[in-house]
Amino acid sequence: MVTNINLSAPSGEKAPALTGKSTLIFLIFLLVAVVSVYGFFAMLKSKYTKEEEQTSNIIKQKRRDLSSADYVEIADFQGRLNMLNEIITNRFPWHSFILEFSKYILPEVKLASFAPGEDVLPINGTAPNYEAVIRQVDLLKKFSGTKSVELKTVSEAMAEEGQQKSVSFQAELKLDKKNFMKNNSSNEETNGQ
Amino acid sequence: MKKQMVNKLVGLKVVILPLSATAAILIAVLFIKPVVTDVNASKKTVEENKEQIGKLEAQELKMKELSGSLSSMEEKPMVMSAMPEQEEVERYMAEIYGRVSRSGVILRSFSTNSGVSGDASGCSQITSEASSSSSTSVSPSSPSPSMPTSSPTVSPSSPSPSMPTSSPTVSPSSPSPSMPTSSPGGSPAVLGVSSTGDDSSSAIPQTTSGEAGASQTSCTQTIGINFDVNGSWDQILKFLKYTEDTSRIADITKISIDPVSSQNNQGESSTLNVKVSLSIFSRPKSGSVDIAQIGDLAGGEGFSKTALKTIEDAIYGPFDYNYDTEKTSGKNIFK
């Protein structure tokens, strides 16, 4: 048995209406559409570029105006304010330090000099006895401006006639200036309130 | 044969459609897309620029306001005295001399050396005041000791050494450069006044502090001052406190106290010698404006109120000057 299938189009049916004219019209339409879209965006680009240039010029002008001599004084004043603020905030309150430090010196202890270095305060003093020296070192450890206290030497001083015997000592105090400043400013704030 | 040709042409027409569509997409991708990207970028830039213009206009308005308020600002003389445009060492000397009088210490010597700190251009030279190697010394017996003359800026318009120290404003036209003959805290004596040619400079950290948060391209000049005073424990403490609240802001960099005599008569303090090195500052008026600084200034609340308060507190801060009891003056650590 042979199956007979007719693969050819029936002669009565119309072929798709794809004529040369319609293809040409479609192509022209497509071309116009593409060019129009491109043109539209190109126009937008040109518009925004122009606007960008204009606004940039305005910004430049405004900046020039702001940098003009009219405002130099203001900027200078603010600069001064900031610099002074920085200096005052960071300067070490020596007066308060000495006053506070003196409270940590025992009444019977006498210092020979006070010459603090950058972070170290060498202590050279005399006390009536060894016990006083130990108490003094212990007391200095409690001072807020102290990081550590190192007792260097202790020796009995030669007493002159009519004078009491005393003990001389040397110690080194490592300063904690930041901590002292912190405590000092918080104390000042408390006192101010 | 002819029919075959026609069929081929019809086949080509069918292919042309997808081909032209593909070509259109290609054109869109190759030409239109970059333009669209550019347009979007330009649009964004324009929007940002417009926003910036708005901000700049607001800043300009704020700056005009600030400009108007600065001229009538109460704190302006205080700030200008705290950090003047000129070095004006003689003015500080006068102020210190006033403090010496009030605290009762004896000023033994006074010397200056100046330097420049900061990183702005045009600020790299050491100031002429420091380069002067002239030295002036005044004998203790001199009836009317004159002010240090190391500076060429010393002029008859220099303020009086006995000017009121509580005043924040130092008028440039203050009269009489002569020394006072009497003072409330005892008559101060100048035993030696000298000016050395030592040039020193110390770096001042660039600041970004303050409410306005302005970044500084400052040209702050640091003038080193060394002096040597004698006095009792109480007097010296008083003097040190006075040096902290001078109308010209100073920063003590080094201090040493040594007893001069150890006589311990009842009720009398032994004499102490204090050597103090401190820095005072000046800042010549800048000729240009940093736009970032202006932006911060105009964008914030105007002049830094925190900074103003800090300066005010430093100069006018309450302080009990009565060192009558050990409670206020502490223990004399040398006694």
Q: What is the DSSP string of B201-218?
A: --PPPP---SSS-PPP--
Same domain, A77 and A101: no
Residue A111 structure tokens: 């210092």
d(CA A84, CA A78): 10
Q: Which domain holds residue A81?
A: 24-91
Report yes or no: B304 and A78 within 8 Å, Cβ to Cβ. Answer: yes
Residue B274 confidence (pLDDT):
93
User: What tokens does B45 get?
Assistant: 């830039």
Would you give the DSSP letter of residue A3?
A: -
Tell me: do A126 and A77 sit in the same domain: no
pLDDT above 70: percentage of residues in chain A: 84
Same domain, A134 and A177: yes
Q: Which B residues 123-142 touch A at CB under 8 Å?
A: none
Q: Given a cut of 50, is residue B134 above it in pLDDT? A: no
Q: Are A155 and A129 within one domain? A: yes
Distance, CA of B7 to chain centre: 93
Indicate the Cα dihedral angle A36, A40, A43, A48, nearest 10°: -160
Query: Using CB atoms, which residue from B252, B285, B307 is nearest to A82?
Result: B307
**Would A127 be classed as within a structural domain?**
yes
Q: Which of A91, A126, A141 is the last residue of a domain?
A: A91
The reply to whether A103 and A73 lie within a common domain is: no
Task: Report the CATH number at residue A165.
Answer: 3.30.1360.100
In 3D, which of B278, B99, B276, B88 has the Cα closest to residue B180?
B99
Nearest to B333 by CA among B274, B231, B277, B259: B259
Q: Using 50, 70 and 90 to split pLDDT, how confident is the model at A187?
A: confident
pLDDT category at A152 given cuts 50, 70, 90 is very high
> Taking CB atoms and an 8 Å limit, are A85 and B204 in contact across chains?
no
User: Is residue A11, in this structure, part of any structural domain at all?
Assistant: no
| Torsion angle (degrees, nearest 10) of CA A164, A165, A171, A177 | -10
Which residue did the predictor score with more confidence, B108 or B181?
B108
Please tell me which of A14-23, A93-102, B13-22 the model is most confident about, judged by mean pLDDT: A93-102
Tell whether A36 is within 8 A of chain B (Cβ): no
Do the chains contact at B331 and A67, CB–CB below 8 Å? no
pLDDT tens per residue across span A157-174? 776 666 678 899 999 999
Distance in Å, alpha carbon of A134 to nearest chain B alpha carbon: 17
User: Are B13 and A18 inside 8 Å of each other by CB?
Assistant: yes
Q: Are residues A120 and A86 in the same domain?
A: no
* Residue B40: closest C-alpha in chain A: A45
Q: Is residue A109 part of a domain?
A: yes
pLDDT category at B20 given cuts 50, 70, 90 is confident
> Model pTM greater than 0.80?
no
As for the ipTM of the complex, it is: 0.71
Nearest-Cα residue of chain B relative to residue A51: B46
Residues A114 and A41 reside in one and the same domain: no
Question: What are the DSSP calls for A94-150, one per residue?
Answer: HHHHHHHHHTTS-TT-EES-B---SSEEEEEEEESSHHHHHHHHHHHHTSTTEEEEE
Is residue A4 domain-resident?
Answer: no
Domain count, chain A: 2
Kindly state whether residues A73 and A128 are assigned to the same domain: no
| One domain, residues A66 and A84 | yes
Residue B204 confidence (pLDDT):
43
Judge whether A101 and A115 are in contact, CB under 8 Å: no
Q: How far apart are CA B273 and CA B108, in angstroms?
A: 9
Tallying the residues shown for chain A, one arrives at 193
Give every CB contact of residue B289 below 8 A, 6+ residues apart in sequence: A66, A67, A68, A71, A72, A75
Residue type, A53: E
Query: In this predicted model, what pLDDT tens digit does every residue of B259-306 receive, in sequence order?
Result: 886 555 544 447 899 999 999 998 888 777 776 777 777 777 778 888
Mean pLDDT score of chain A? 84
Convert the pLDDT of each residue in B248-258 to its tens digit. Answer: 999 999 999 99
Identity (one letter) of the amino acid at B281?
A: F
Is residue B116 classed as helix, strand or coil in its secondary structure? strand
Nearest 5 degrees, angle CA B270-CA B276-CA B277?
A: 170
Residue A41 lies inside a defined structural domain of this protein: yes
A144 and A182, same domain (yes or no): yes
Inter-chain residue contact B218 with A79, CB threshold 8 Å: yes
Final residue in a domain of this structure, among A91, A107, A129: A91
Residues 29-58 of B with CB under 8 A from A: 31-32, 35-36, 38-39, 42-43, 45-46, 49-50, 52-53, 56-57
Is A15 within a domain?
no
pLDDT value at position B29? Answer: 87
**Which of B36, B53, B288 is facing A67, going by the closest CB pair?**
B288
B213 pLDDT band, cuts 50/70/90, is very low
* pLDDT recorded at residue B49: 94
Please indicate, yes or no, whether residues A81 and A105 belong to a single structural domain of this protein: no
What pLDDT digit, counting tens, does each position of B148-205 carry?
333 333 333 333 333 333 333 333 333 333 333 333 334 444 444 444 444 343 434 3
Q: Which of A60, A91, A122 is the last residue of a domain?
A: A91
For residue A45, the chain B residue with the least C-alpha distance is B39
Q: How far apart are CA B156 and CA B178, in angstroms?
A: 10
C-beta atoms of A52 and B42 within 8 A: yes
A124 and A70 within one domain = no
Contact B52 A98 (CB under 8 A): no
Q: Could you tell me if residue A2 is inside a domain?
A: no
Q: What is the DSSP-derived secondary structure letter of residue B190? A: B
Q: Does residue A10 lie within any of the structural domains?
A: no
Q: Does B283 touch chain A (CB under 8 A)?
A: yes
